[in-house]
Amino acid sequence: DAGVIQSPRHEVTEMGQEVTLRCKPISGHNSLFWYRQTMMRGLELLIYFNNNVPIDDSGMPEDRFSAKMPNASFSTLKIQPSEPRDSAVYFCASSLAGLAGSGETQYFGPGTRLLVL
Amino acid sequence: AQTVTQSQPEMSVQEAETVTLSCTYDTSENNYYLFWYKQPPSRQMILVIRQEAYKQQNATENRFSVNFQKAAKSFSLKISDSQLGDTAMYFCAFTGSGTYKYIFGTGTRLKVLA
């Protein structure tokens, strides 16, 4: 299995630009998670999809962030406009979790390191 | 509220030696799941080991094993025969039986010395 695939691996952009991060979950997994990791705040859950439907977006920092999952094999996280404080590593993870979850393992992608200048 | 605490920000161990990373958690649930993830310099989060709270037997994966003490709410990770490739940040994580959310600890940075 290829594992969770994320692109790009690195992104450097200027403040005000639009940034789009991409994720392909493990085939057959029905749950997808977007996380952000910073030194100050650790790992934060941004949004959770189950069967392509956003279930919990309470972690999305503000309206500049949006996420979509148009099908079972693709998701995007978009930041528009980007700001320097958005600089972080963004992870996508997938699992076989049901809506309520029952301890299924989350498998993480390699992450996207975003630097906003 | 459920919490996960890793009290050792940094540790080091000599190659081939054994090291134990500690993790404590707080929950009122009886059934839950615990994980150790490894994050090497490449930043990839890699599952090391998973433990189900209702199983009394400690989980093991090759050189990695856990000491799960349910009453003490402790979940330590033992790495035997440490290798240079074990150098990484290690995160302990908790999830309850009725939620998809993981609660992560702040991590322990482990350095294996040659």
Q: Could you report the per-residue pLDDT of A40-59, keeping only the tens digit for each?
A: 999 999 999 999 999 999 99
Between CA B110 and CA A17 the distance in angstroms is 37
Residue B1: other Cβ atoms inside 10 A = 6
| Cis peptide preceding A84, ω within 30 of 0 | no
pLDDT above 70: residue A99 = no
* Buried b or exposed e, range B96-114, using 16+ CB within 10 angstroms: bbebbebbbbebbebebee
B89: which residues sit within 8 A by CB, 6+ positions away? B38, B39, B40, B107, B108, B109, B110
Residue A101: per-residue pLDDT? 64
A55-64 pLDDT per residue, tens: 999 999 889 9
Which residues 12-51 of B are in CB contact (within 8 Å) with A?
32-33, 35, 37, 42-47, 50
Tell me, yes or no, if A43 comes closer than 8 A to chain B by beta carbon: yes
Per-residue confidence band for A1, with pLDDT thresholds at 50, 70 and 90:
low
Ramachandran region of residue B5, left (φ > 0), alpha (ψ -120 to 50) or beta? beta
Taking CB atoms and an 8 Å limit, are B37 and A108 in contact across chains? yes
Taking CB atoms and an 8 Å limit, are A107 and B47 in contact across chains? yes
- Kindly list the residues from chain B whose CB atom is less than 8 angstroms away from the CB atom of residue A45: 101-102
Among B2, B5, B33, B45, pick the best mutation site for testing chain A contact (most A Cβ within 10 A): B45
pLDDT above 80: residue B96 = yes
Per-residue confidence band for A78, with pLDDT thresholds at 50, 70 and 90:
very high
Ramachandran region of residue A44, left (φ > 0), alpha (ψ -120 to 50) or beta? beta
Taking CB atoms and an 8 Å limit, are B99 and A100 in contact across chains? yes
Tell me the pLDDT of chain B averaged across its residues: 94
Residue A93: other Cβ atoms inside 10 A = 25
Q: Which residues pair with A34 in a beta bridge?
A: A47, A92
Between CA B21 and CA A112 the distance in angstroms is 28
Q: What is the dihedral of CA A93, A99, A105, A111, to 10 degrees?
A: 10
Between CA B6 and CA B94 the distance in angstroms is 12
